[in-house]
Amino acid sequence: MKLESFGRVLYHAPIKNTYKINATTKYLLYPKTTSDVLNFLKYAKKEKIPYWILGGGSNIIVSDTEYDGVIVSLQDLNQIIYEKNCVTAYSGVKIPTLAIDIINHGLKGLEWATGIPATIGGCIYGNAEAYKISTFEYLESVTYINEELEIVTKDKKELTYGYRTSYFKEHPKCVILSGAFQFPTGNMKESMEIIQERTKRRQETQPLEYPSAGSVFRNPSPENPTWKIIDSLGLKGTKIGGAMISEKHANFIINIQNATGKDVRNLIELIKNRVKEETNIDLILEQEYKDW
């Protein structure tokens, strides 16, 4: 059986990531349907084929060499289905797209997410949040492929979740297919004003002009944000290779000149070690290493 049986395939293809690190994969698979995803996973298990699931590439740090396996991009699973205030969004839908789409349908609840370059699957996986509102806030249920390679749907109350984490981080072999949300009725004018104000704030406080993957570490507490800790240690502007700690927001690492995955990783370790030495705080990495 060939990979083309499960969707569109690219060979020796670039791996999408918001750090813009140059990395490739031997096979890049774009399944068209949830059945394609399930059938591929069964095939990969049977044939012992290495793979991993790619969302929007917004919270990952890839290696610098070619991945000798299959990366499965779910970007073609991008349907949005409405039933009054209940909205089902498939895993490949970008959350900023969904945020604007629900506003156009007279709903609200995702204004916080318009600046997050991630997919619904990725946001559910990591329980993405901003402005003290998380993905799980309006989530009702998740349909996913479990570790036994069965498609199941579970209510939110059956799934563990917390600050920047979820059941799916604890069970990384599960593959999120879609999420069902219940959004309140909104006002388009009010929602767009919120988005415009927050977009302006992001432009003023975040280094959006450079490739990055957003916040590198979780905040130890709301009263003690990571950016303030890193800033207090005088680490803003520190460089390793083409990677630099942003001078605008100290919890961002930016790619200023052809940074490698190794550059980013080394800078992360430098921050963690300095923070531990000076404050005895163990920073928790919010982004994920993709090793091969």
Catalytic positions: 164, 215, 286
The DSSP bridge partners found for residue 264 are none
What is residue 220's DSSP assignment? S
CB 160 within 8 A of CB 166: yes
- Asked if 88 and 178 touch (Cβ cutoff 8 Å), the reply is yes
Q: Torsions phi, psi of 41, nearest 5? A: -60, -40
DSSP character string of 91-151: TTSBHHHHHHHHHHTTB-S-GGGTT---BHHHHHHHT-EETTEEGGGSEEEEEEE-TTS-E
In the block, tokens 């990495």 appear at 285
